Chain A
Amino acid sequence: METLRRILPALLIAAAILAAWELYCVRAGVSPLLLPAPSDVARALVANRGEIAGHALSTASVTALGFSVSVAFAFLASVALHFVPPLERGLMPLFVVSQTVPLIALAPLMILWFGFGLLPKTLLVVLVTFFPMLVSLLSGYARAAQDHLDLLASMGAGKVALFRRVYLPSARAAFFAGLRISGTYAIVAAIFAEYAGARRGIGIFILSAKNNFRADLVLAAVVVSSVLTLGLLGVVRLIEWLSDRRRGHHAPR
Chain B
Amino acid sequence: MLRVEALTVTARERTLVENLSLDLEDGRITCLIGPSGCGKTSVIKWLAGILPAGLAAAGKLAIDGRDISRPDPAIGYQPQGDALFPWLTIAENAALGLEVAGASRTSARARVAPLFPAFGLAGTEELFPDQLSSGMRQRVAFLRTIVRQSRFILLDEPFSALDAVTRMRMQLWFLARLEAEPRGVLMVTHDLREATEIADRVLVMAAAPGRIVADIPIETPRAARSEAALADLRQSLKSLLLEDFSS
Contact = CB atoms under 8 A, between A and B. Distances in A.
Do A and B come from the same complex?
A: yes
A97 B127 CA distance: 46
Given A150-B79, A249-B131, A251-B130, A155 B87 contact: no
B37 interface: no
Contacts of B49: 153-154
Interface in B71-119: 71, 73, 75-81, 83, 85, 87, 96-97, 100-101
B100 A152 contact: yes
Interface string B154-181: 0000000000000000000000000000
Contacts of B48: 150, 154
Interface residues of B, number: 25
Contact of B85 (A148, A155, A156, A249): A148
A115 interface: no
Contacts of A157: 100
Contacts of B78: 151
Nearest to B127: A249
Nearest to B82: A147
A165 B84 CA distance: 12
A165 B97 CA distance: 12
A150 B50 CA distance: 6
A145 interface: yes
Contacts of A252: 131
B234 interface: no
A150 B45 contact: yes
B128 A249 contact: yes
Contacts of B85: 148, 165-166, 169
Interface in B174-224: none
Contacts of B127: 249
A153 B100 CA distance: 9
B77 A150 contact: yes
Given A152-B100, A155-B148, A245-B87, A251 B79 contact: no
Contact of A147 (B73, B79, B131): B79
Nearest to B132: A251
Nearest to B131: A251
B71 A155 contact: yes
A161 interface: yes
A245 B91 CA distance: 14
A154 B87 contact: no
Contacts of B81: 147
Give the interface centre of B50, B75, B148 by most chain A CB atoms within 10 Å: B50
A149 to B, nearest CB: 8
A155 B100 contact: yes
B131 A156 contact: no
Contact of A154 (B77, B80, B128, B130): B77
B101 A156 contact: yes
B50 to A, nearest CB: 5
A172 B87 CA distance: 10
Contacts of B100: 152, 155-157, 161, 165
A157 B70 CA distance: 12
B87 A145 contact: no
A253 B147 CA distance: 32
Interface in B28-63: 45, 48-50
A27 interface: no
Nearest to B102: A156
Interface of B: 45, 48-50, 71, 73, 75-81, 83, 85, 87, 96-97, 100-101, 127-128, 130-131, 148
Interface of A: 145, 147-148, 150-157, 161, 165-166, 169, 172, 245-246, 249-252
Given A151-B96, A154-B77, A251-B130, 12 more contacts: A147-B81, A150-B45, A150-B79, A153-B49, A153-B50, A154-B48, A155-B96, A156-B100, A156-B101, A165-B85, A246-B128, A249-B131
